[in-house]
Structure 1
Amino acid sequence: MKTLVSILKTLPPTKVIDSSIELSKYIALDLSTTNQELVEKKPDNAAEFEVFISNYLKKNNAEVAYGGYIEGRNLYQRSTIFKNESNPERNIHIGLDLWSKEGTIILAPIDGKVHSFKDNVGLGDYGPTIILEHEIENEKFYTLYGHLSLESIENLTVGTIFKKGESFATFGNSAVNGDYAPHLHFQIINNIENYNGDYPGVCNINDLNFYIENCPDPNLLLKIT
């Protein structure tokens, strides 16, 4: 029986946002704790971070900045969702972020159906979130889309089918997406357990091996590079 990783590797490249944006307009973005420019500029809120992203895209003549899988970040420290007295700090990002303009169209990267959706309200949380269910070669798995617009989930129904390349959501703004610059958090999940409309997208270092196993690199599917 093939593993999910081996199946993802055999699939052709696909896009998860606006197909009119050429891959030549994508630029890798490092938001890790070792990014000295980020350390120096210290964007403290969504507005400042949006300026940081916008300037980065302009400087590189790009339309989409991407990256972040298994990346240790400091930007979650402002939220008690990721750091509080009851739980160890979560600061390792386990999805792929794609940063672009508010309203950017999100596409189904492969055929799937709506598993669940939810508005995860709170500073630093996902905001509107959709999870799609997929099955390839008898292997069932899921993809999560976080930081969406409210309109993305307004008339959604569990079980709705979306074909590969079909648009089904858009990037939300900081007022609804957890107070981030507009972007998509895209994550692959092997075993979703009992989660509905939500799944951890950031983990503690002690849980990293589990999440690497359960949430393989989304670029195995997208093949941006």
Structure 2
Amino acid sequence: MDGFSSILSNIHAAPIIGSVDYKSFVPIDLSKNNADLTTNRLESPQEFENYIKEYLEQNNAKVAYGGYLEERKLYQRSSIFNNNETAERSIHIGMDLWIKAETTINCPIDGEIHSFKNNTGLGDYGPTLILKHIVKNEVFYTLYGHLSLKSITNLSLGTILKKGEKLATLGYASENGNYAPHLHFQIIKNIEDHWGDYPGVCSKDTVDFYAENCPNPNLILKINKT
């Protein structure tokens, strides 16, 4: 484990969905190898939401999580990831937490608002918030995508948010990039000049770079270590 990953793994974060105990989280496979993900389920937010709901009921869980470095077919529906001009992007570099819209998302660690933006378009993040953190003199960022539009209304850059404080709520498909409701959570070491946005899906030929710059979000969340 490198120095940055070690710092992240030693952070004692607040539950990112404070209303749900991590014991009620269940891992989910949304990779290209999941035969249950039919074309209709992948293209229809409502069908996908029904699939998630059924999966949670079958597993007696409230939140389905996972997706880091998972190769998915989900993005083939959008030209954002598959435009025939650049390498197809299909590898997810954040963690998704699948739960109903309007769920409250809490700030896992102290931070300040770096930027926010409504990234519109099929398959994009929709309302997105990025926080800046400094831990043991290490500067890094966390990204929260697929939020409700009201979550990024009346925000101010530089506002300090404390661990455990309400951060946002999740958006419906109509505002979150046309996905079933969920949170995309991602760690970013070097954000460069990105503002209110950062790639959450990469191509196979760039995965080494993004895996280094965006380490496993579970280093902070520790969902499966409780």
TM-score bracket relative to the smaller structure: over 0.9
Structure 2 runs not aligned, ≥5 long: none
Shift of residue 85 of structure 1? 2.1
Q: Distance in 2 between matches of 1:123 and 1:53?
A: 20
Q: 1:99 to 1:40 in 2, by over 3 A?
A: same
Q: Distance in 1 between matches of 2:14 and 2:29?
A: 22
1:109 maps to what in 2? 108
Shift of residue 16 of structure 1? 1.4
Q: Distance in 2 between matches of 1:42 and 1:127?
A: 20
Which amino acid counterpart does residue 11 of structure 1 have in structure 2?
A: I
Q: Distance in 1 between matches of 2:101 and 2:123?
A: 17
Q: Distance in 2 between matches of 1:85 and 1:33?
A: 20
Q: Distance in 2 between matches of 1:8 and 1:75?
A: 29
Q: Are residues 1:204 and 2:211 paired? A: no
What is the correspondence of 1:1-225 to structure 2 with a 5 Å cutoff? Answer: 3-17=3-17, 19-39=18-38, 42-225=41-224
Shift of residue 13 of structure 1? 4.7
Q: 3-state SS of the aligned residue for 1:76?
A: helix
Q: Distance in 2 between matches of 1:115 and 1:40?
A: 37
Shift of residue 12 of structure 1? 2.3
Shift of residue 15 of structure 1? 1.6
Q: Which digits, 9 at most, give the CA deviation of each residue in 1:79-101, with x for residues without a partner? A: 00000121110000000000001
Q: 1:69 to 1:160 in 2, by over 3 A?
A: same
Q: Distance in 2 between matches of 1:65 and 1:20?
A: 14
Tell me the percent identity.
57
Which amino acid counterpart does residue 198 of structure 1 have in structure 2?
A: D
Shift of residue 46 of structure 1? 0.6
CA RMSD for the aligned pairs?
1.2
Q: 3-state SS of the aligned residue for 2:198?
A: coil
Q: 3-state SS of the aligned residue for 2:209?
A: helix
Which amino acid counterpart does residue 121 of structure 2 have in structure 1?
A: G
The answer to whether the 8 A contact 2:99-2:181 is kept is yes
Q: 3-state SS of the aligned residue for 1:8?
A: helix
Shift of residue 168 of structure 1? 1.6
Q: Distance in 1 between matches of 2:24 and 2:165?
A: 21
Q: 1:7 to 1:74 in 2, by over 3 A?
A: same
Q: Distance in 2 between matches of 1:128 and 1:73?
A: 22
Q: 3-state SS of the aligned residue for 2:37?
A: helix
Q: 3-state SS of the aligned residue for 2:112?
A: strand
Q: 1:179 to 1:7 in 2, by over 3 A?
A: same
Shift of residue 23 of structure 1? 1.2
Q: May I ask how many residue pairs the two structures share in their alignment?
A: 223
Which amino acid counterpart does residue 5 of structure 1 have in structure 2?
A: S
